[in-house]
Amino acid sequence: MGEKILENKYQRTINERFFVDGYLTDPCVLLLHGSGAGCEHEWMVSMARRLAAQGLLVLRTNFAWMEKAVARGKPCPPPRADKLVLELELLVLEIGRPLVIVGKSLGGRIGSMLVAESASAASGYIRGTVCLGYPFHSQSKPEQWRTAHWPLVGVPMLVMQGESDPFGRRDEVEAHLGSGECGKNAHIQLQWWPDGDHDLLPRKRSGISGEGQLQACAQQIGDFVRALSV
């Protein structure tokens, strides 16, 4: 697949499947969307551009369920997480080169679940994963935490979380993790973003620059990926 990647092109595709930002020779990341919008959403496009500017090759695509939702023009709920994990495994195998998974919300959760499966056929390609706004729980069921697999994560994992994220605020997440319910894992690093929401953006009244926050986020991801020698 590698020879088909179009270098130095933005918004170009590979086999009408992957959107590409960056150079073939750069470290590769697979940028995954969340449950509410696909890979062509402005937030995803903006983050892809920011990451490419950090010297990364960024590949984006939609999960099959999202592709159908986009084609129909109406949202639909995602399938079970285990089905998405299998789909992600196949995507990584299709890319066929060392990479880091960078996932927004649901995408980050699915990425973390895949790297918790040591027997996965894709494990030889995945050097690490980044979760942008991890959905620790749903807004309607805050007592149901989605961290049971965290003790099994076997590669470096960076979780970037807004302090005010309704899917996991800083106070409740720190209390949950401190309880030891999901175990301690030296592979996992949790990084908090001041006043950030689920998109890592601060409220206007905070006086913090949203643009600056996202740029800093991209820089941190660039440093994280390069440190893994992808």
**For the segment 9-32, what is each residue's pLDDT rounded down to a tens digit?**
444 555 567 899 998 889 999 999
Looking at residue 101, what is its pLDDT?
98
pTM of the model: 0.90
- Arithmetic mean of pLDDT, 95-118: 96
- Average pLDDT of every residue of the chain: 88
Strand order in the sheet with 57-60: 12-14, 18-21, 57-60, 28-32, 99-104, 126-132, 157-162, 188-193
| pLDDT of 6 over the 80 cut | no
| pLDDT of 3 over the 50 cut | no
Q: What is the DSSP string of 72-123?
A: HTS------HHHHHHHHHHHHHHH-S-EEEEEETHHHHHHHHHTT-TT-TTT
Domain boundaries, given as residue ranges, for the chain: 2-139+146-227
Torsion of CA 71, 77, 79, 85, to 10 degrees: 80
Q: Using N-to-C axis directions, what is the helix angle for 81-95 and 106-114, rounded to 10°?
A: 70
Cα 34 to the center of its chain, rounded Å: 8
Q: Answer with the residue of higher pLDDT: 93 or 179.
A: 93
- Arithmetic mean of pLDDT, 144-161: 95
pLDDT digit string, tens, across residues 89-101: 999 999 999 999 9
Q: Answer with the residue of higher pLDDT: 131 or 186.
A: 131
Question: Is residue 30 a contact partner of residue 221, using CB atoms and an 8 Å limit?
Answer: no
2-139+146-227: what fold?
Rossmann fold (3.40.50)
Q: Among 90-94, 114-118, 174-178, which stretch is predicted with the lowest mean pLDDT?
A: 174-178
- Arithmetic mean of pLDDT, 161-171: 94
Residues of the chain above pLDDT 90, percent: 66
Looking at residue 181, what is its pLDDT?
60
